[in-house]
Copies of this chain bind each other. A is one copy, B any other.
Amino acid sequence: MLGSNREHASDPLGMIEASLKRYGRDQEIIHEQEDSLRHWLRIVSGLTRTCVLRSDGKRQIIDFLLPGDFFGFIDNGPYAFTVEAVVDGTQVARYPRERVKLLADSDPHFGRWIRGIAFDGISRLQGRMLALGSVSSVEKVGAFLLELADRSPQDSAGAVSLPMSRYDIADYLGISAETVSRAVTKLKRQGVIHLLGTRQVRIVNRAALMC
């Protein structure tokens, strides 16, 4: 359902015919299971979020997918989810699921590549587990900023962009949007981070976020 290929220089998926599609802000890429069974997804540009709607009406964001990340490992989870574009012009490549599966089974090199992606995904999920296990909301927001910084390309000034809203971050961390805002303000006042705008942040004291 997730993973990164940034460490894997070559692109074995080039052997499989893909369709590239462009999505607008908040547009649904996958709804329920109707599509997930038929395709693997790879984010080409932009940002997507994977959401689950709880029975109490609250939205939970399972994951953000950055360029290079994959979606579609899982055959069929017990929960109904959607994948949506967060920013305008998000581009997604779709690979026929059956072709991926067949190639993984027949080509050892490709199979190993898939395993690498799956292991990366597990590693990243466990990192998130630690972030969510933090008690304080400031720690959660700090861990989120660190994770995003490590996954995003930094610009020359060392700034990281936050393409998602405070509400998205809140649903990702399981806290309220107001608490996210207060945590960011607190980190700024402590000098741990520096805000270049509401959606642009520079991490000043990395060690302070590593708690």
Residues in A lying within 8 Å of B, measured CB to CB: 1-2, 52, 54-56, 58, 60, 62, 73-75, 77-79, 104-106, 108, 111-112, 114-115, 118-119, 121-123, 125-130, 132-135, 174, 210-211
Q: How many copies does the complex hold?
A: 2
A73 to B121, CA, bound (A): 11
Known: A56-B211, A108-B105, A115-B104. A125 touches B127 (CB 8 A): no
Contacts of A123 in B (CB 8 A): 1, 74, 77
Known: A174-B133, A174-B134. A122 touches B73 (CB 8 A): yes
Contact A62 B125 (CB under 8 A): no
Query: Which of B55, B119, B129, B130 is in CB contact (< 8 Å) with A74?
Result: B119
Q: A60-B133, A104-B112, A132-B132 are in contact. List 12 more A-B contacts (CB 8 A).
A: A1-B126, A2-B122, A77-B123, A79-B130, A111-B112, A118-B119, A121-B122, A129-B129, A129-B132, A132-B133, A133-B174, A135-B174
Contact A77 B211 (CB under 8 A): no
Contacts of A1 in B (CB 8 A): 122-123, 126
A55 to B118, CA, bound (A): 29
A51 to B111, CA, bound (A): 31
Contacts of A108 in B (CB 8 A): 105-106, 108, 111
In the assembled complex, the CB of A61 is this many whole angstroms from the nearest CB of chain B, namely 8
Query: Which of B62, B111, B119, B130 is in CB contact (< 8 Å) with A52?
Result: B130
